[in-house]
Amino acid sequence: MPVRHIEAGSNVPMYRTSRDCRPAGALSGPLVVSMRPVPAEQVATAVRVTSRYPAVHGAPVHVGDPTELGIEDLAAPDFGDPVTVRPGEVPVFWACGVTPQAAVMASRPPFAIGHAPGMMAVTDARDSEYVVP
């Protein structure tokens, strides 16, 4: 399955949505999603494969029209770099690890630690530790 931002040598596009997350204490903010264009005939496979990893990004939160998430322009991500959605491809959106940073930016706590968008922590955990059969 193609991964456009890797093919392009760029960072994955990430977008703030119009959907608010459930507040956690003093933190609240919008859901942030990452988008990958997927050939229409491979969307079901992408959903099936990623849904087996709910402890990480899991299944997509939305497939298709970005305006349903409040995203007006795929060419203008809030974080990362834009990628081309080619004819025959569908935009597929996964919950993004930048969501906590968006909550921190919206809530403005006195101190917070996070990661840079598109630069996740790397550990020695195996995929098999997270997969749901």
What is the CATH code of the structural domain delimited by 4-128? 3.30.2040.10
**pTM for the model:** 0.84
At 44 the pLDDT is: 97
Query: pLDDT by residue (tens digit) across 15-65?
Result: 999 999 999 999 999 999 999 999 999 999 999 999 998 888 899 999 999
Beta strand 62-63 with 14-20 is unpaired
* CA distances for 41 relative to 12, 26, 60, 94, 97, angstroms: 22, 42, 16, 18, 27
Name the phi and psi angles at 12, rounded to 5. -60, 140
Domain boundaries, the chain: 4-128
